Amino acid sequence: MPEPLKLVFMGSDPIALPLLDWLAPTGSGLMGEGSATARLLAVYTQPDRPAGRGQKVEPGPIKQWALAHGVPVRQPEKLSDEERAWLTAQEADVALVMAYGHLLSEAFIATPRLGTLNLHASHLPKYRGASPIQTAVACGEIETGVALMRIVKKLDAGPVADVERVGVAPLDTALDVERKLAAACVPLLARAWPRLCESTLAFTPQEEARASYCRRLVKEDGRIDFAAPAPALAARINGLFPWPGCSVEINGVGVRVGLADALSDKTGEPGTVVGLDAEGLLVATGDGILRLRKLQRPGGRLLPASEFLRGFAAVKGTCLPSQTMSSLVSPQPFR
């Protein structure tokens, strides 16, 4: 059996945990006993940051995983020449990146013998950028995927080796799709790794004419304009859950919406409450009815609409104010 490839993993988001579990020496993947084709040299992740209401400094999920599995952890504030020298000294064959949070220089990208690969959570060239999962759901996609690509200087523009596709169900939120994509990383890498070991993994350039870009989301993206069509509003609500989350104003109170869908019924004045059914609060839009299925008042829990409205009246005819919505996608990188 040939020597296993020396691998460095770089990530900071829990989306990578299913892949790391598969990679673990006790797992069923590349480093499992008797069939090892990779050796995990170290995990790179963001430095520990204050988190939560108490702003206590705690290790992130990737660091916690590495400590639990006895894998060395590196947490530089920036990827300096010292880090490149360490990779060189370790004779790293490949670096694998997913949601790391650091920009990589061209020199760093080229340091591992076989280069630096990235797992990007979209079906490239769609949704290059910082929020591909949320944006795909918010734009009403019925399918997305995770792509294995080479990192190049231009944002998420490197050639792609393979894609694992996942479906987006009508009531999937971004959180649901993130779980699917996290799991999809495993079969994707399982297919690609043997070819990488054999130097037969082929990369195909992306079609630049089809490229689109998404950006880092902000709280203001949770605004709702009821003049838009109901399907577009439902997709946006589901895609932006849990962060930044969409909100509506009911009787002067900001109410968070956790799930929605659209009905094709005839509509009234956009923003007007037209009724309540067994699944949610019905609101007129520019085209169709928006059904708000889960609602949360300030300081409360996210509840099914029928339960929420027992203690929070939203009578028929109530008007919910609209707010201008910002664009989530651009044909060019956001500045």
d(CA 185, CA 163): 9
pLDDT, tens only, 60-111: 999 999 999 999 999 999 999 999 999 999 999 999 999 998 889 999 999 9
CA–CA distance, 236 with 245 (Å, rounded to integer): 9
Each residue's pLDDT tens digit, 173-188: 999 999 999 999 999 9
Q: What is the mean pLDDT of the chain?
A: 93
57: number of Cβ within 10 Å: 10
- Chain centroid, CA 178 distance in Å: 5
Nearest to 306 by CA among 284, 274, 335, 275: 275
Q: Which of 138-152, 199-213, 300-314 has the lowest mean pLDDT?
A: 300-314
Structure confidence at residue 30 as a pLDDT band (50, 70, 90): confident
Q: Is the bond leading into 242 cis (omega within 30 degrees of zero)?
A: yes
Domain coordinates of the chain in residue numbers?
Answer: 5-210, 219-308
Q: Give me the DSSP letters along 146-179.
A: EEEEE--SSTT-S-EEEEEEEE--TT--HHHHHH
Q: What tokens were used for 88?
A: 């060189």
Q: How far apart are the first and last CA of the chain?
A: 49
User: Which of 26-30, 69-73, 87-91, 256-260 has the lowest average pLDDT?
Assistant: 26-30
Q: Nearest-5° angle of CA 324, CA 242, CA 65?
A: 145
> May I ask the CATH architecture of the domain 5-210?
3-Layer(aba) Sandwich (3.40)
Q: Does domain 219-308 have CATH number 3.10.25.10?
A: yes
pLDDT at 50: 85
